[in-house]
Structure 1
């Protein structure tokens, strides 16, 4: 996503206009392939870090999806998450008066049977 956004202003460190023109789709694809290959190698060298990173990316993706759905709901559209839309479950009132007589009986706090008072 960030690669398609325009960059504000010229950069002294970046490529010139003629250098930018020489970067074609095939070169970009080759660079992306090399990056993926390097990431695979990193995951083989550091499997723990790779697992944590994949979990973080999954969580970030879920949050982005929820955020997009919230924005779409806010602006009046129906959010689609790729799954079939299901109606929200009806909320029921919390249960009341569910204690049994044994539950209501207070716990014994005195001395155990057979113990002498001090």
Structure 2
């Protein structure tokens, strides 16, 4: 649960710090300095750390929910991986017949007559 809160905080911080275009509407917004933003973020984080002391039941249920969601995410990722690996394209194009690798030893198809060297005399 606390991981999700931290992730949301950092993602929000990144989104806030992205450069923006100057528009007439943005000039009307209140201007907040970096030091003010840091002190407000620090206060928010310290308040979040005290949340489980104030609401232990909510933290317990949230932890159980995070565990269930984590397991479902793992199962979903595992199933997606199986779908991808089972349905992937074959390694060959099919224009050449498939190779049967069950017999790894090379087969000798030459007979003894084929192996006899023909005598070539002087012309």
Q: Same fold (TM over 0.5)?
A: no
Higher RCO (C-alpha under 8 Å, 6+ residues apart): 2
Q: TM-score, normalised by structure 2?
A: 0.37
Q: Which structure has the bigger radius of gyration? A: 2
Q: TM-score, normalised by structure 1?
A: 0.38
